[in-house]
Amino acid sequence: MIAVLLAVVFVDDKDACTATRPVAAVVQGDPGPAPAERGSPAPSGERTYPLAAGTYSVTDHFGTRGGSHQGVDYAAAAGTAMFAAAPGNVVASGPASGFGQWIIIDSVDADGSPFSTVYGHIFPDDLRVKVGDVVKAGDHIAAVGYNGEVQPPGPGGAHLHFEVWPGGRLTGGSPIDPESWLGGAATPKARAGGKPSTPSPAPVCEDGFGTQGGQLADGVVPPELDPWYRKAGSLCPQITPSLLAAQGKQESGFQRGLSSPDNAQGLAQFIPTTAIATAPDGRPYIVDADGNGAASVWDDGDAIVGQGRYMCALAAIIDGWKADGRVQGDTPALALGAYNAGEGSVLASGGIPNQIPRHFSETQPYIRIILDNEPNFRAAAATGRFVPSPSSPVGGQIVDAARQYLGTPYVYGGGGPQGPSNGGLDCSGLTSAAVHAASGGAVTLPRTSEQQWSVGPEIPIDQAQPGDLVFGEWGSGGPGHVGIASGNGQMIHAPQPGDVVKEAPVQSGMRARRVA
């Protein structure tokens, strides 16, 4: 299917990587420039202390508490301005167990290696960024609080808990000592009116690393194209490597040198005017991604990264329209429709294009074929893609489905029937994903462990079989934790922030239910 792309110059600043978002000042006067929205950072070695000089003192160091303290604590008055320590993409902004509310920013260093910075104990009203925002080093992102588990409780315990994770907080990295990492970093200083400095350049959209699910399966695309689909699928959370690969298969069958009757060219079948149209970061969609000195639709890397850049731009526009109630539907499907028929057709249709005969004969089949084929390009363990067997016991298949997620990062609120979200799973997200997959979609569990306790009959814990759910950490509202019995006194569970899905002994005091 040949893409019909329109030349578009994006001028709506809410979708531009370098745009700003007005945010009301909440502490210490004028907070300075607000973070930009959407996109990913350019590689940068720039680092800035997360608090201004003279506003904090270090009260706990990395590696204390028997090695369990994964960051550094900066005591400061509640409401003290908190700044981004590096330019990057906000991948978490909201509740986190023990942290009250947290912020995670994914960044890329000067060598092109990914890392995350983590900011904890924030109150909801003090969050100044949301998932998808792009920040510069020194941007005002939040205020110091005492939310979550702090000692002493209340304002006397106000502090910033700050972590640094090479490899990514939600993507399998490991923490390091933030104080060593910050050695030699700049310290934000309040200007007149309390305005912090923001020394970093505006970020661009083409670089980044994968914070979203849907990773590419091994061996499903030509090996020389594999790294480009992975890179292009890391530019925004709406568009995954597997979706781009399925789209590339439909566009060109991974064959180079193709040109359609509509003059769509190359692996991604770009119309020339679209290839040179201005993207939200002010550059053309086709950039010199492979570094050979020329940007060309005929180069593998340039074409595939351009495909990702254009799909992400379309997804951002569509998300804005959805927020305004102007269109309805799944963002990836609508982005595919816009790629094939132009985003104007999505807006005119209020969703999947349906205005002219070609929308029915070409665009709608194009979308359907790609979405149907996408699972064939998706790594099974990345999203829990599991094919149940009608002849096997459901309980054992629940365990098998759960084992696909071993090593997946714990993410508060992450996961559901369709697998991980926001880069991982929490305890009830894991159980929901495994049971839904193993039952062939016949059983959809409610979202929380407390709600899941109401499903199915209770089984004596000493009679629990593989696939039964085991519940623990009891409180007045019910169980605070849930896992999946895997046999021999073991369970598979997503334990807590900073950990990953693992198999471990069933905890003392747990109770069991049979849900399938």
Active site amino acids: 427, 481, 493
Cβ–Cβ < 8 Å for 401, 394: no
**For residue 217, what is the DSSP state?**
P
Radius of gyration from C-alpha coordinates of the chain:
24
Q: Hey, what's the torsion of the CAs at 421, 424, 427, 432, to 10 degrees?
A: 40
Cβ–Cβ < 8 Å for 442, 455: no
- For residue 458, list its beta bridge partners: 513
Question: In angstroms, rounded to a whole number, what is the distance separating the alpha carbons of residues 456 and 482?
Answer: 14
Question: In angstroms, rounded to a whole number, what is the distance separating the alpha carbons of residues 248 and 240?
Answer: 12
Report the Cα–Cα distance between both ends of the chain, in Å, rounded. Answer: 42
Question: In angstroms, rounded to a whole number, what is the distance separating the alpha carbons of residues 112 and 41?
Answer: 11
Tokens of residue 211, six digits: 């914070």
Q: Hey, what's the torsion of the CAs at 299, 301, 302, 307, to 10 degrees?
A: 120
Question: In angstroms, rounded to a whole number, what is the distance separating the alpha carbons of residues 349 and 432?
Answer: 34
**DSSP assignments along 122-162, one per residue:** E-GGG----TTEEE-TT-EEEE-B--SS-SSSSGGG-EEEE
Cβ–Cβ < 8 Å for 108, 43: yes
Q: Name which of 214, 216, 262, 332 is nearest 1 in CA terms.
A: 262
Q: 177: exposed, middle or buried (C-beta count within 10 Å: 0-12, 13-18, 19+)?
A: middle
Q: Which residue has the tokens 């661009």?
A: 204
Q: 358-388: b or e for each residue (b if 16 or more CB lie within 10 Å)?
A: ebeebbbebbebbbebbeebbbebbbbbbeb
